[in-house]
Structure 1
């Protein structure tokens, strides 16, 4: 009982700090990937808090086209370190392969959740306050528009109602259901 009394708050604090920073790196990567507005105050915040380690990594890890590989390497390393500490403090045995797979599955889940949240909030904002412009809605537009445009090619507006957010949400949920369980199976096999 003594070990969980101390380790649970440590795990909670560590997981919270790492989760927020990992989210910041993922958002920066996604905004860079979709060509988001980096003059936006929220983008500027993300750049300032993630730039120091990424500046160092970019010296050694070049980008591949529009993909910032240094951000990918950095976020995987952060997630692995966070998972390593959590599993160690909980006393759960694991292999290095299981740690890599666990980290990758958590990052894939995070990216899907970011897209789900962004599409959902953007759809809500379009109903509640259509045509409004602010820093957050601009970022939501940048992140979601590539997905929504591709879905609008499949389902055009029907009676003035855009069903592309619904199609994107269904597609993202299906992707999560098809990608994450096989990774979790692999984790248990190599764990």
Structure 2
């Protein structure tokens, strides 16, 4: 792979992954029932609307979930992986295998969003407790549905919330035991693992 291809892969992965994250956040925000009047939510809606609007005509929502945004995320991941393979090895790859790798990639990104949202939430609880910043509110809305069931089973610790520790452990175990084994089991190339 020459320098031009390396630069193209880098740009593709960087810009494509950022937009993919925004599309997946649109799905997650509906999943956690976030406040869509939040300015950050409004940005995400505007950024994803051009691709989602035509897709929604074909793919309806189901049970209050925005299935079109999830399908768009998988299609974007599929496109990113296909272009990465083309630029790196000059081959397109098996479409079914690429679809499986795309679903694995979206699942891994989904887990990473919650992992990093919890890290941000823990840090903000130390430095910006009670803040009404739109970013702080959004991070808390993303984390709360995952932490609430854990808090039900934990005894009261006198104001100390250790539920994020158990959530971190759960996410890491899912990553180690499920996602990493699926990557290895399906033969995902190293160049595609960088996308995840």
TM-score range, shorter chain: over 0.9
1:101 and 1:186 in contact (8 A); partners too: no
Number of the residue aligned with 1:32: 30
Cα distance change on mapping 1:156 and 1:66 into 2, 3 Å? farther
Partner residue of 1:23? 21
Alignment partner, residue 135 of structure 2: 136
Post-superposition shift, 1:159?
2.4
What TM-score results when the alignment is normalised by the length of structure 2? 0.91
- 1:26-68 superposed Cα distances (whole Å, 9 cap, x missing partner): 1111001111011111100000010121111111101110221
The match for 2:158 is 159
Shift of residue 92, structure 1, vs aligned partner: 6.2
User: Mean alpha-carbon deviation: is it higher for 14-23 or for 88-97?
Assistant: 88-97
In the superposition, the TM-score normalised over structure 1's length comes to 0.93
Counterparts of 2:187 and 2:122, CA distance in 1: 38
Match of 1:118 in 2: 117
RMSD value, Cα: 1.4
Residue of structure 2 in register with 1:149 after alignment: 148
- Rounded Cα–Cα distance in structure 2 between residues aligned with 1:73 and 1:148: 26
Correspondence 1:1-16 to 2 at 5 A? 3-16=1-14
For each residue in 1:159-182, what CA deviation from the matched residue of structure 2 results, as whole angstroms up to 9, or x when unmatched? 221111111111111111122123
Task: Give 1:12 shift.
Answer: 0.6
Provide the residue aligned with 1:74 in structure 2: 72
Q: Is the 8 A contact 1:101 1:183 kept in 2?
A: no
Partner residue in 1 for 2:170? 171
8 Å Cα contact 1:156/1:162 also seen in 2: no
Q: Which runs of 4+ in 1 moved over 3 A?
A: none
Deviation at 1:132, TM superposition (A): 1.3
Mapping for residues 41-120 of structure 1, pairs under 5 Å: 41-91=39-89, 93=91, 94-120=93-119
More displaced, 63-72 or 80-89?
63-72
Distance in 2, matches of 1:157 and 1:146, equals: 19
Instruction: Provide the secondary structure at the position in 1 that maps to 2:34.
Output: coil
Q: In the comparison of the two structures, how many residue pairs are matched?
A: 187
Distance in 1 between the 2:123 and 2:2 partners? 41
